[in-house]
Amino acid sequence: MNSIAVQSLETTVSEVLDGTPFIDIHTHLFAPGFGKIGLWGIDELLTYHYLEAELFRSSSIHPSKYWLLSQTQRADLVWKTLFVENPPVSEATRGVVAILQALGLDSNARSLAPVREYFQNQKLADHIPRVFKLAGISEAVMTNDPLDPEEAAIWSAGVDTGPFFRAALRLDRIINEWDAHWSVIAAQGYTVQQDCGGQTLSEIRRFLAAWVTRMQPVYMAVSLPDSFLFPVEDARTHLIRDAVLPTCREFNMPMALMIGVRRQVNPLLKNAGDAVGIADLRSLENLSREFPDNRFLVSVLSRENQHELCVYARKFFNLLPFGCWWFLNNPSLVAEITRMRVEMLGMSFIPQHSDARVLEQVIYKWRSSRRSIAPVLAKAYELLTVDGRAVTREDIQGDVSRLFRTNFQRFLENS
């Protein structure tokens, strides 16, 4: 048995992480067939809401003035403020530098002209596999909203998601904004009512089944506020309990719950205007216990909720924690959360997803996650070795494949 010496563990772990293509289980990317709703290229990278949030802290421009600029002008201002006038040390700004370096561009350049020229010369059909290879991912799960008029039209017209993308049926508008959207569903010929009465719930099951057939999603998903409680006497509880979860069971698919976002605490910042809050995870306890035949992929946004999530995962095997979502996707927190999960759950979780909104972001988000997770796994193997059990490369490969591929695949298949 070729056991790994303690001093070689981190190198071996890094090699195995780099050599294993991951499945990116949650992104906001789109297959080429979706046209311009799929974002890529330097102007999209620079006007990413993470960078816009940082821009408003380092520039005197008021958001209302910023939104009046063209996207090119906005990108120029972000570049000037966060990359030229200030060193790009934050996770999100450094990410852009890492992308330029990975694509062989001059990441020290101060002018955007050569970078824009590079992207203008890219063909998406060649660019996507190159970017996925650089990111070390084999496929990405999209976020697909059946009530987004532009996207829905593309699905209705028929679209091939291709080899690199899988669909996920995202239900925020239905579950969180029922009062604003029930009439849109009614207009599509479903007998639904605002009060969820009558045939509403069976009609929503029919609506969901139609979209499952059309999209072939790998899971259904919803983001939920920090104030989310289940069960309570509201439309959200009815829709989840009597429409979404039964349909998930019917099609044998998990439901992803992303809990803890406070939407639009500062609407002036648009996508950058969302925040985080500590959620009462007893809702998760109730869901996991009351629906043992449903499977829940769960990510929580608040740092303070991470430990509880691990404890609930130890109580309910139909609950699979995933990712260091959004404001947690920073090296210090990825290391902290991953260490806690290894200590409490072994390898029975999914450490990360990219949440990429712009194609090339998968490059830095996965480079950064690999860099943060390698020492955490190596430390776990070091402690195991010191405590008397030798670790082999096969052990490490098995665990890494499990963390970034088979835990997800098996949870989808309920196997």
Using CB under 6 A as the criterion, which residues of the chain lie in contact with ligand FIX when the complex forms?
Answer: 28, 143, 223, 258, 271, 326, 355, 357
* 35-43, 51-59, 352-360, 400-408 -> range binding Zn ion (CB under 5 A): 352-360
d(CA 188, CA 207) in angstroms, rounded, equals 9
Q: Which two tokens stand for residue 72?
A: 């090119």
How many residues are present in the chain? 415
> Letter for the amino acid at 285?
E
Q: What are phi and psi of 407, to 5 degrees?
A: -55, -45
Looking at the Cβ atoms of 164 and 326, the one nearer to ligand FIX is 326
Among 355, 360, 377, 404, binds Zn ion (CB under 5 A): 355
Neighbour count for residue 46 (Cβ, 10 Å): 25
Give the one entry of ligand FIX, Zn ion, none that residue 328 binds, where binding means its C-beta sits below a cut-off of 5 to 8 angstroms depending on kind: none
Looking at the Cβ atoms of 298 and 374, the one nearer to Zn ion is 298
> 78 near 90, Cβ under 8 Å?
no
Residue 91 as a binder of Zn ion (CB under 5 A): the answer is no
We find the least distance from the C-beta atom of residue 271 to ligand FIX, in angstroms, to be 5
> 353 near 24, Cβ under 8 Å?
yes
Give kind and range of the element (H or E) at residue 257.
strand 255-262
Looking at the Cβ atoms of 303 and 357, the one nearer to ligand FIX is 357
Torsion-angle region of residue 184: left (phi > 0), alpha (psi -120 to 50) or beta? alpha
Size of the site for Zn ion (CB under 5 A): 1
Give the one entry of Zn ion, ligand FIX, none that residue 357 binds, where binding means its C-beta sits below a cut-off of 5 to 8 angstroms depending on kind: ligand FIX
Looking at the Cβ atoms of 147 and 342, the one nearer to ligand FIX is 147
We find the least distance from the C-beta atom of residue 28 to ligand FIX, in angstroms, to be 6
Looking at the Cβ atoms of 196 and 301, the one nearer to ligand FIX is 301
We find the least distance from the C-beta atom of residue 170 to ligand FIX, in angstroms, to be 8
Looking at the Cβ atoms of 170 and 405, the one nearer to Zn ion is 170
We find the least distance from the C-beta atom of residue 26 to ligand FIX, in angstroms, to be 7
* 70-78, 102-110, 115-123, 351-359 -> range binding Zn ion (CB under 5 A): 351-359
We find the least distance from the C-beta atom of residue 221 to Zn ion, in angstroms, to be 9
d(CA 79, CA 65) in angstroms, rounded, equals 17
* 60-68, 191-199, 200-208, 354-362 -> range binding Zn ion (CB under 5 A): 354-362
Torsion-angle region of residue 189: left (phi > 0), alpha (psi -120 to 50) or beta? left
Distance of CA 272 to the CA centre of its chain: 16
Give the one entry of ligand FIX, Zn ion, none that residue 252 binds, where binding means its C-beta sits below a cut-off of 5 to 8 angstroms depending on kind: none
> 134 near 363, Cβ under 8 Å?
yes
Q: What are phi and psi of 203, to 5 degrees?
A: -70, -35
Q: Which two tokens stand for residue 349?
A: 């979780």
We find the least distance from the C-beta atom of residue 351 to ligand FIX, in angstroms, to be 16
Looking at the Cβ atoms of 10 and 360, the one nearer to Zn ion is 360
235-245: burial string, b at 16+ Cβ within 10 Å, e else: bbbbbbbbbbb
3-state secondary structure of 326: helix
> 345 near 314, Cβ under 8 Å?
yes
Among positions 220-249, residues that touch Zn ion (CB under 5 A) are none
Residue 44 as a binder of Zn ion (CB under 5 A): the answer is no
Give the one entry of Zn ion, ligand FIX, none that residue 223 binds, where binding means its C-beta sits below a cut-off of 5 to 8 angstroms depending on kind: ligand FIX
Residue 43 as a binder of Zn ion (CB under 5 A): the answer is no
Looking at the Cβ atoms of 200 and 299, the one nearer to ligand FIX is 299
We find the least distance from the C-beta atom of residue 261 to ligand FIX, in angstroms, to be 6
What one-character DSSP code corresponds to residue 83?
I
CA torsion, ordered 169, 170, 171, 177, to nearest 10 deg: -150
We find the least distance from the C-beta atom of residue 28 to Zn ion, in angstroms, to be 6
Give the one entry of Zn ion, ligand FIX, none that residue 266 binds, where binding means its C-beta sits below a cut-off of 5 to 8 angstroms depending on kind: none
We find the least distance from the C-beta atom of residue 64 to Zn ion, in angstroms, to be 26
Spatial neighbors of 349 by CB under 8 A, at least 6 apart, are: 313, 320, 321, 322, 341, 403, 407
Neighbour count for residue 281 (Cβ, 10 Å): 20
Looking at the Cβ atoms of 183 and 271, the one nearer to ligand FIX is 271
Looking at the Cβ atoms of 116 and 357, the one nearer to ligand FIX is 357
Q: Which two tokens stand for residue 209?
A: 């089944």
Residues near Zn ion (CB under 5 A) are 355
